[in-house]
Amino acid sequence: MPTLNLPTTGGGLAPYTMQPPRQFPAAQPPFNRIAYAAAHVVPDPLADANPWLDAAIDWDATMAFRRHIWSLGLGVAEAMDTAQRGMGMDWPTSLELIRRSLDAAKDFPGALIGSGAGTDHLAPSDAVTIDDVIRAYEHQCAAVEQLGGRIILMASRALVKAARSPDDYATVYGRILGQVREPVIIHWLGEMFDPALAGYWGHADHMKAMDVAIDVIAANASKIDGIKISLLDKDKEIAMRRRLPQDVRMYTGDDFNYAELIAGDEHGYSDALLGIFDAIAPAASAALDAFSRDDINAFHDILAPTVPLSRHIFKAPTRFYKTGVVFMAYLTGLQNHFTMVGGQESTRSTLHLAELFRLADAAGLLADPDKAAARMRIVMALRGIVA
C-alpha cells in the first residue's frame, strides 16, 4: 500500500501508509429509506472564464457524476447549496443544470430527483419587499415545474431581509405552497451553512423558529412531502420530527449524526437529503441496502467510519464543506481535477485536506489507493509539500 508524507499539526510531516479499501457490496434498491445525495458540479478547467465571476460547467463530467449517484440507488437533490448555489452558481446556470439532470434521469427508470427553487436571482437588500420575494419564488417554481421537475423549496436570503415578523414567513410559504402542482420538500438551512439565513422563520432561537415552521407545515400539509433541516443538532431534528403531521417526512440534513437519525427510534425516523452522501455514495448505498434487509449491524458498521470524515468535511466554517466534497470526488477518480466554481478549492487549509485524506482512507472509501495517493501528491506539491 502507498505511503505518503502528510502535514501534521505543528508544522511537521509524518509518514502515512494507506490501508486496503473496503469492498462495498452492490445494492439492490429500493431501500426502506428515501435517500437523496445533494450533488456538486464540476467546472471546466480549460474554459476561458474568470473563476470568481463565471460558472463554466463541464456538463459531461457533471452529468456523469449524477449517473454514478443514480446507479447506486440514491436520489439526486439538484441545484442545492452543495452545487454552490449562492457561492458561484447563479440561477440561469442552475436552471440549465436542472434541465440537463432531469433529462439524464430518464435513463434510470424510477430515479429520484428533486430540484432546488428559491429566490437567488433576487438580490437581498433592505429595499426588497415580501411581494418581491413571492414573485421570485413563483418565477423559479414555475421554471422547475415547466421542466417537469419536483421542487425542493430552498430557504431565501431575500426573505430574511424582507420579513418583519414570523407572519411574513407564513404569508410567503402559504402563497407559494398554494400554487405548486406537487408536494415539495421545504429546505431549512441553518446559519452555520449560510450566515445570511440567520434568524430564519423570524426567530434567532431555533426552537421558536421551529414553532413557526411547524405551523406553516400544518397549514399546508397536503402540499408538503417533507422538510429537510440542516441545523447539525440531532436533538432539534428529533424534536421537530415528532411534531410533524403524520404524512410529512423528515429529511435529515444533519451531516454530523445522519446514521442514528436514519436508523430512527421507537417514535420514528428520518429519511435523508445529505451533502455527505455525495462524498460517500458507495458506502451510503451499501449501508441503506443492509438496513433494508434488517442487517442493522452492517448498516452501522459501514456508516460509523464515515461519520468522523463527515464531521471533518462539515466543520466550521461549515459553508466551506463543498471543498471537501469535491476533493473526495477528485481522490476517488470521479472527476479529473480539483477545481471548483468560484475558486472555492482554496477555502480549506493543507492540514484540513491531509486529515480528510486520512479519514477517507480509514473509512475504506479510497477504492483505488494508487490513484488516490498520486492525486494527493499532486495537491500537496502545489502547496509546497513533497508527499
- Helix 306-313 to helix 350-362 angle, to the nearest 10 degrees? 160
At 182, which CATH number? 3.20.20.70
Task: Write down the pLDDT at residue 18.
Answer: 98
Q: Which whole-number Å values give the CA distances from 233 to 240, 241, 254, in the listed order?
A: 11, 12, 7
Number of domains within the chain: 1
Residue 93 lies in a domain: yes
Q: Which three cell numbers stand for residue 269?
A: 425516523
Task: Write down the pLDDT at residue 339.
Answer: 95
Of 275, 282, 351, nearest in space to 84 by CA: 275
Give the residues of the chain that fall short of pLDDT 70: none
Task: Determine contact, residues 150/182, Cβ cutoff 8 Å.
Answer: yes
Task: Write down the pLDDT at residue 51.
Answer: 85
Residue 141 lies in a domain: yes
Task: Write down the pLDDT at residue 52.
Answer: 87
Task: Write down the pLDDT at residue 387.
Answer: 77
Residue 314 lies in a domain: no
Alpha-carbon span 87 to 151, nearest angstrom: 20
Q: Which three cell numbers stand for residue 68?
A: 454514478
Condensed to tens digits (0 to 9), the pLDDT of residues 255-274 reads 999 999 999 999 999 999 99
What values do phi and psi take at 254, rounded to 5? -90, 100
- CA dihedral in degrees (130, 250, 365, 94; nearest 10)? -30
Task: Write down the pLDDT at residue 83.
Answer: 98
Residue 382 lies in a domain: no
- Concatenating the DSSP letter of every residue in 250-311 gives EEE--TTTHHHHHH-BTTB--EEEESHHHHTHHHHHHHHHHHHTT-HHHHHHHHTTHHHHHH
Residue 286 lies in a domain: yes
Q: Which domain holds residue 197?
A: 32-303
Residue 341 lies in a domain: no
Amino acid 11 reads: G
Residue 277 lies in a domain: yes
3-class DSSP assignment, residue 68: helix
Condensed to tens digits (0 to 9), the pLDDT of residues 140-165 reads 999 999 999 999 999 999 999 999 99
Residue 97 lies in a domain: yes
